[in-house]
Structure formats: structure tokens, C-alpha cells
Amino acid sequence: GERRLPDIEALLRGPMLGPTLAGDGASALPRAWSRVTGAAGSWAAALSLLALGVIGLGAWAAQGAACARHLLGEGAGIAFRGVFLALAALGGSLGLAHILRLSDVSMIVAAELHLIGLCALLPRILSRRPGA
């Protein structure tokens, strides 16, 4: 028969055991830490996850802005940061099922954008080769 993808909504209705999700997803790590370390472990895990998210978002925003500035000029970096901030706020307000759906699509879009960027930068890269 025909192979179908799993229904994400049905998957998220019940608890998933193992390395993927438990409860609402983000609470799996603090719950695991609190079994050993108590409430302090839950706070440490929550702050660690928050710091990881903020650092990751900052790094991606800075790298994307630098690439946009390099390709399109000075104003493009500021525009990229604005769009990035709006999309991060949107992602922070969505439920986990929506995030999982969007992450699949965004990975495809990201791969395509990387290919477009590589093609756009290829003439500059080739012009810097020794002997060119």
C-alpha cells in the first residue's frame, strides 16, 4: 500500500517516551534533572535551554545579517535582522505541532537559499583564486 507520514497532531496528543518528546517537549529535560537534583536542577536546565536559544538566535541573526550585507549592501543587514526578529517572535508564539510542521518546510527552504547564496557568491570566490 501507500506509505504515509505520521500524523503529528496524533503523535503529540499522547506522551512519547524515549529521546524525542515527553509532556510538552520543553519540560522533558528539567523533569529529568529534577529527579536527581531537585528544584535547583530544573532551574539550571531551564536557564541553560534559554541561554542556548538566545545564543543560537543571536549567532544566526548576526551571520545572516553579515551575509545579506555582503550580498546586497549595507541596508540589507538591518532588514534581515528585522525579518529574523519578526519570524523568531512568530515561532515563539506557536504551538509545538506547528513548529514541527514549519521546521520541515523551513529546512527545505534553507537548503534552497544556501544553494542560491552559493551560486551568487561563486563569481567572487572564483575571482579570488590564485592565478585567476
Q: What is the pLDDT of residue 19?
A: 47
* Range 26-36 average pLDDT: 69
Q: What is the pLDDT of residue 113?
A: 92
pLDDT tens string 113-122: 999 999 999 9
Q: Would you say how long the chain is, in residues?
A: 132
Cα 61 to Cα 91: distance, rounded to the nearest angstrom: 14
Cα 75 to Cα 65: distance, rounded to the nearest angstrom: 10
Q: What is the pLDDT of residue 17?
A: 52
Question: Coil, helix or strand for 90?
Answer: helix
pLDDT tens string 49-94: 789 888 988 898 999 999 999 989 888 989 999 999 898 888 788 8
Cα 53 from chain centroid (whole Å):
9
pLDDT at 7 over 80: no
pLDDT at 22 over 80: no
